[in-house]
């Protein structure tokens, strides 16, 4: 007989109860749920109910406990508690975690010391697998057996296989990514935009305006994901667009409801200090502001409005629709050698493309590199070929000398000139012709360092 997976769900509230109920549908799972009180544990065990959260609803068979030591062995732990409780729960849980235990975070928000929650948990549970599970799922529908989906953020294939197996024969389905940080970030920041869209619906009651703002929300989320180290493709998963849609467009969403209240004029700023939705929203806003450049924040008008409404007493939500759509039909120009194409190059090119609809890259020729005292590993033709395979590069042109930039700006009708911030101020002479911006370089990687490693090898 096969051993059962021993699963502990921490948190016997609405979501934890619904999750435990679904997991117990799999006969190969032995499911436990940790309650706040012995009375709640007794109710679940003796009556198969949790009436505080699901009145008059019979639960499937799982075991409620009130102490960690009640379970001799835990294979998988789900954290289904508010993010503010994580820092208190992890030290209590730690003594009962064994080497192969997998810890899965369902909490949405940001943790202590400016970390995403999974990073905070990992810092406390060294060597333990810490995963993320987020998706467009309301607990009430999960409890009713409705087919539902989550994104699993994982590190190793054995982790994804294990978690996939415990959801077999349940009403829960999964999609997958190794971008754990992206899953955490997108699940937290979408709440900010649910508030904005709730406000828009209350204020305008227009499908046209709603989806105009929703489209812009997706654009802003992409910018934030890139800024905070997530991957753009994570937004395409259920934790991204799926959860954004659920939270922004469904009246069961607390964040959307807050936006509706603001739009109708029923929101009392004096209650902000006790409103858990507002508290989580403010934490998310602060995390993003503390980990983003001023340039990125300046490109997030919806974000800025929600920030003001949650932080400034009596502020009136004010969206300038003209400024809202800032990615107009713009041409962006940047230059570089792009030898030994690496992650840092890809990041700056991806960011550059977010500024417009067409990205032109001026690529230093082999002859120009000689004048600069540089020698490329790859020829101009090969480097050009590499760049042209990237979906966010529209055109590659030769850079033959230092003085061609003014002509290039004119010839290609450039709206924005972008370079890394190590060139800051060097191209300000172009400001009479176009907008000039300097983007931060990706830390910890450079072409010079890669060439040094290759030489040693």
How far apart (Å, rounded) are the C-alpha atoms in residues 437 and 354? 13
Question: Does residue 419 share a domain with residue 392?
Answer: yes
Best CA proximity match to 161, nearest among 2, 5, 20, 21: 5
Question: Does residue 355 share a domain with residue 341?
Answer: yes
CB neighbourhood size of 174 (10 A): 17
Q: Are 215 and 279 in contact (CB under 8 A)?
A: no
What string of DSSP letters covers 40-68?
Answer: HHHHHHHHS-BTTTBTT----S-EEESSG
Last residue of some domain: 159, 177, 195?
Answer: 177
Give pLDDT, residue 453: 35
- The reply to whether 283 belongs to the active site is no
The residues, ordered by sequence, that sit 6+ positions from 119 with a Cβ below 8 Å of its Cβ are 111, 181
Best CA proximity match to 149, nearest among 264, 212, 237: 237
Number of folded domains that form the chain: 3
Last residue of some domain: 161, 177, 193?
Answer: 177
| CA distances in angstroms from 418 to 335, 352, 397, listed in the order given | 8, 7, 15
Best CA proximity match to 4, nearest among 39, 22, 26, 28: 28
Indicate which residue of 372, 375, 424, 426 is catalytic. Answer: 372
**Phi, psi angle pair for 331, to nearest 5°:** -105, 130
Please give the order of strands across the beta sheet that includes 435-439.
Answer: 395-399, 358-364, 331-336, 416-420, 435-439
- The reply to whether 374 belongs to the active site is yes
Give pLDDT, residue 295: 86
Give pLDDT, residue 44: 97
Check which CATH number belongs to the domain holding 398 and give it.
3.40.50.620
Check which CATH number belongs to the domain holding 208 and give it.
1.10.1040.10
Crossing angle of helices 117-124/86-93, nearest 10°?
A: 30
Cα 85 versus chain centre, distance: 21
Give pLDDT, residue 24: 97
Check which CATH number belongs to the domain holding 143 and give it.
3.40.50.720
How far apart (Å, rounded) are the C-alpha atoms in residues 70 and 62? 14
Question: Does residue 341 share a domain with residue 315?
Answer: no
Q: Which two tokens stand for residue 221?
A: 């989320």
Give pLDDT, residue 281: 83
How far apart (Å, rounded) are the C-alpha atoms in residues 119 and 375? 40
pLDDT tens digits in sequence order for the chain, 457 residues long: 458 899 999 999 999 999 999 999 999 999 999 999 999 999 999 999 999 999 989 999 999 999 887 777 889 999 999 988 999 999 999 988 888 899 999 998 887 766 899 999 999 999 999 999 999 999 999 999 999 999 999 999 999 999 999 999 999 999 999 999 999 999 999 999 999 999 999 999 999 999 999 999 999 999 999 888 899 999 999 999 999 999 999 999 999 999 999 888 887 655 555 677 787 888 889 989 998 888 889 889 999 999 998 888 888 888 888 777 755 678 999 999 998 777 778 888 988 988 888 999 999 999 999 998 888 888 999 999 999 999 889 999 999 999 999 999 999 999 999 998 889 999 999 999 999 999 887 654 444 543 443 344 4
Give pLDDT, residue 109: 84
Question: Does residue 200 share a domain with residue 78?
Answer: no
Question: Does residue 59 share a domain with residue 37?
Answer: yes
Query: Which 3 state secondary structure label does DSSP give 392?
Result: coil
How many residues are recorded in the chain?
A: 457
Question: Does residue 35 share a domain with residue 167?
Answer: yes
Question: Does residue 428 share a domain with residue 350?
Answer: yes
Q: Which residue has the tokens 């603001």?
A: 262
Give pLDDT, residue 348: 86
Question: Does residue 197 share a domain with residue 116?
Answer: no
Last residue of some domain: 268, 301, 324?
Answer: 324
How far apart (Å, rounded) are the C-alpha atoms in residues 42 and 50? 10
Cα 311 versus chain centre, distance: 22
pLDDT, tens digit, for every residue of 122-156? 999 999 999 999 999 999 999 999 999 999 999 99
Question: Does residue 279 share a domain with residue 374?
Answer: no
CB neighbourhood size of 367 (10 A): 11
Question: Does residue 196 share a domain with residue 317?
Answer: yes
Give pLDDT, residue 317: 83
DSSP 95: G
Whole-structure pTM value: 0.84
Q: Which residue has the tokens 């911006």?
A: 437
DSSP 422: G
Question: Does residue 206 share a domain with residue 172?
Answer: no
Question: Does residue 385 share a domain with residue 341?
Answer: yes
Give pLDDT, residue 311: 87
Indicate which residue of 100, 157, 264, 374 is catalytic. Answer: 374
Give pLDDT, residue 452: 47
Give pLDDT, residue 248: 95
Which structural domain, as residue segments, surrounds residue 438? 331-456
What's the distance, Cα to Cα, between the start and end of the chain in Å? Answer: 52
Give pLDDT, residue 451: 41
| CA distances in angstroms from 328 to 159, 226, 355, 415, listed in the order given | 43, 20, 9, 10
How far apart (Å, rounded) are the C-alpha atoms in residues 257 and 251? 6
């Amino acid at each position: 007989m096969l051993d059962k997976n021993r699963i502990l769900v921490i948190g016997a509230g609405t979501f934890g109860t619904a999750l435990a109920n679904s997991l117990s549908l799999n006969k190969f799972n032995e499911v436990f749920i940790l309650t706040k009180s012995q009375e709640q544990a007794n109710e679940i065990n003796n009556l198969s109910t949790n009436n505080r959260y699901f009145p008059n609803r019979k639960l499937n068979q799982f075991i409620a406990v009130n102490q960690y030591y009640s379970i001799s062995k835990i294979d998988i732990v789900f954290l289904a508690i508010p993010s503010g409780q994580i820092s208190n729960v992890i030290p209590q849980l730690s003594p009962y975690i064994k080497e192969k235990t997998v810890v899965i975070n369902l909490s949405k928000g940001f943790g202590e010391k400016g970390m995403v929650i999974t990073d905070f948990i990992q810092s406390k549970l060294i060597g333990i697998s810490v995963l993320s599970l987020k998706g467009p799922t309301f607990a009430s529908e999960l409890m009713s057996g409705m087919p539902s989906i989550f994104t699993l953020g994982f590190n190793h294939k054995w982790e994804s296989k294990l978690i996939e197996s415990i959801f077999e024969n349940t009403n829960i389905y999964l999609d997958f990514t190794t971008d754990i940080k992206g899953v955490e970030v997108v699940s937290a920041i979408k709440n900010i935009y649910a508030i904005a869209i709730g406000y828009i619906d209350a204020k305008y009651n227009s499908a046209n305006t709603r989806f105009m703002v929703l489209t812009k929300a997706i654009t802003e989320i992409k910018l934030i994901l890139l800024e905070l180290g997530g991957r753009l493709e994570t937004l395409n998963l259920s934790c991204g667009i799926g959860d954004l849609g659920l939270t922004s467009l469904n009246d069961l969403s607390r964040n959307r409801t807050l936006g509706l209240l603001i739009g109708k004029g029923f929101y009392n700023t004096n209650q902000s200090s006790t409103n858990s939705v507002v508290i989580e929203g403010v934490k998310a806003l602060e995390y993003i502001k503390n980990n983003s450049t001023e340039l990125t924040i300046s490109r997030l008008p919806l974000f800025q409005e929600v920030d003001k409404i949650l932080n400034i007493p009596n502020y009136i939500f004010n969206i300038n629709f003209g400024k809202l759509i800032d990615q107009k039909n713009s041409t962006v120009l940047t230059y570089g050698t792009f030898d030994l194409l690496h992650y840092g190059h890809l990041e700056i090119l991806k960011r550059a493309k977010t500024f417009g609809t067409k990205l032109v890259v001026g690529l230093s020729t082999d002859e120009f590199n000689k004048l600069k005292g540089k020698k490329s590993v790859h020829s101009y033709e090969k480097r050009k070929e590499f760049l042209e395979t990237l979906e966010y590069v529209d055109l590659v042109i030769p850079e033959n000398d230092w003085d061609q930039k003014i002509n290039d700006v004119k010839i290609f009708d450039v709206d924005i000139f972008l370079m890394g911030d190590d060139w800051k101020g060097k191209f300000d002479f172009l400001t009479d012709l176009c907008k000039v911006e300097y983007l931060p370089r990706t830390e910890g990687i450079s072409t010079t360092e890669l060439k040094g490693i290759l030489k040693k090898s």
